[in-house]
Chains A and B, each alone.
Chain A
């Protein structure tokens, strides 16, 4: 992928932060990089890695307004980012957690798929925990910064049981028995619409890809201990987090 000089500078800035495991001040605005260029930086950063799927971020209109964008954003999920318990937090920068849902696609989706077609293409729906890891200090960033930094994608845990629709109730995330964060599943909107939007944005999706469809709750700091995510109809995901 061809990057211009400023896009390259942002790429190197992020890569250096990742290698050192240290957060930095946001840089996209200073370099005059907008969201579209930031996606080029994101793609270049993952070149040569095997793509396993995507994650959506900023799914709520309130967050979008706050960040000055009019759609969700997406990041890429590469091989090795789908985690199993116990999860090591040591390679993540200021890790935070979000309770989510994940879709595994059963069919390919063309870029112009309708929301209904996207819904039909779902092979399975699972509980998920999104481990955020950001190179931007205190998660204070502009939309282009977070897009270039792969939408803060650090890793993902997935539930081991298919969820049954319709989904109701809350996603509740606990750490060492204490409620960390929660949000209503209803706030996540229509999963088919999200998948259709993503398919258009990335030029089509493939069967077998894993899509994290966003979080209805605020992110919360991650620390070693026992993590529990409770979801619709008694579904649960339990994991151990380590340094």
Chain B
């Protein structure tokens, strides 16, 4: 069967419902790349969009986007040369208060935690041709962020089309306070530590995300343009993991520290 024929046989809405059931019931499904022969990336984004629309119809809101597969290590692991993106659903946004955020473990399937930089977009940013500098100029503030990645695919056995369809393995997120001065930092050299129960379990560096976190934001604006959308004022962008992903389970407490920023404590309750 040709790729095209395989692609046309796939019912995006039906697969979106299947992923949504996995999300709601916390029962992972077989990789769509295996069970459905999903290969086409546009089709995978179509499933993702379909899933978002399904959730929006039930009152969900999109508060921004996340960029995935921004590190060379992750790209090599999946055999890809480009990042992917998903939508940040508000029902899984847990803003920190007083430097602490509580993330409920119960709705998650197989979560990992990643340290990132979040961008708060202040001015419309539409591709194509957006540069890193334009992305920075359109940003109002930055914050340290913890993203929970989670997969509706069994055992994280994902290929690129699987994670794209699965909303780029979005699980939830939290951010520290928005900082305007972090905008003016050399974002390539911003370092991060993740501590768990008082021990360091991961470290990260700004340059780990496509060489510069704002390059990832520019990539996103250009990618969105190919789907006829853009970044708008008020959008939050998670710009990609700065280090390795750390497995998380109920009862775990993590503290994320970044140079010049207040620590961010995340409890998996």
Query: Which residues of A line the B interface, CB within 8 A?
Result: 50, 52, 79, 82, 102, 104-107, 123-124, 126, 158-164, 207-208, 210
A124 touches which one: B137, B185, B186 (CB < 8 A)?
B137
B131 & A82 in contact (Cβ 8 Å cutoff): yes
The size of the chain B interface, using a CB distance under 8 A, is 22
Residues of B within 8 A of A123 (CB): 123, 134, 136-138
A210 touches which one: B123, B131, B212 (CB < 8 A)?
B131
B131 & A124 in contact (Cβ 8 Å cutoff): no
In the complex, B187 has a CB within 8 A of chain A: yes
Residues of A within 8 A of B188 (CB): 160-161
B129 & A50 in contact (Cβ 8 Å cutoff): yes
B183 touches which one: A104, A159, A162, A210 (CB < 8 A)?
A162
Residues of A within 8 A of B3 (CB): none
Q: A126, A160, A164 — which one has the most chain B CB atoms within 10 A of its CB? A: A160
A52 touches which one: B129, B184, B212 (CB < 8 A)?
B129
A161 & B138 in contact (Cβ 8 Å cutoff): no
A126 & B184 in contact (Cβ 8 Å cutoff): no
Interface majority SS (helix, strand, loop, mixed), chain A = loop
Q: Report the Cα distance A127→B47, complex, angstroms.
A: 42
A162 & B123 in contact (Cβ 8 Å cutoff): no
Q: A79, A107, A159, A162 — which one has the most chain B CB atoms within 10 A of its CB? A: A162
Known A50-B129, A158-B131, A160-B214: A105·B137 in contact at CB below 8 Å: yes
Q: Report the Cα distance A82→B132, complex, angstroms.
A: 11
In the complex, B133 has a CB within 8 A of chain A: yes
Residues of B within 8 A of A126 (CB): 133
B183 to chain A, nearest CB (A): 6
B138 touches which one: A82, A102, A106, A164 (CB < 8 A)?
A106
Residue of A nearest to B189 (CB): A161
Number of cross-chain contacts by CB at 8 Å: 57
Residues of B within 8 A of A160 (CB): 132-133, 186-188, 212, 214-215
A85 to chain B, nearest CB (A): 10
Residues of A within 8 A of B131 (CB): 82, 104, 158, 210
A99 to chain B, nearest CB (A): 16
Q: Report the Cα distance A212→B133, complex, angstroms.
A: 13
Q: Report the Cα distance A105→B124, complex, angstroms.
A: 12
Known A123-B138, A160-B214: A207·B123 in contact at CB below 8 Å: yes
Q: Could you list some 11 contacts between A and B, CB below 8 A?
A: A106-B123, A107-B123, A123-B134, A123-B137, A160-B132, A160-B186, A160-B212, A163-B184, A207-B123, A207-B124, A208-B134
A106 & B137 in contact (Cβ 8 Å cutoff): yes
In the A-B complex, the 6 residue pairs with the smallest Cβ-Cβ separation, listed nearest first, are A123-B137, A124-B137, A104-B137, A162-B184, A161-B186, A158-B133
B184 touches which one: A159, A164, A207, A210 (CB < 8 A)?
A164
Residues of A within 8 A of B123 (CB): 106-107, 123, 207
Q: Report the Cα distance A158→B136, complex, angstroms.
A: 12
Q: Report the Cα distance A19→B122, complex, angstroms.
A: 42
Residues of B within 8 A of A79 (CB): 129
Q: Report the Cα distance A162→B132, complex, angstroms.
A: 11
A102 & B129 in contact (Cβ 8 Å cutoff): no
Q: Report the Cα distance A106→B135, complex, angstroms.
A: 10
In the complex, given contacts A124-B137, A161-B185, A208-B137, what are 7 additional A-B residue pairs having Cβ atoms less than 8 angstroms apart? A104-B131, A105-B137, A106-B123, A123-B137, A158-B131, A160-B215, A210-B134
Q: Report the Cα distance A159→B214, complex, angstroms.
A: 12
A237 to chain B, nearest CB (A): 11
Residue of B nearest to A124 (CB): B137
Q: Report the Cα distance A68→B122, complex, angstroms.
A: 43
Residues of B within 8 A of A50 (CB): 129
Q: B123, B124, B131, B132 — which one has the most chain A CB atoms within 10 A of its CB? A: B131
Residues of B within 8 A of A107 (CB): 123
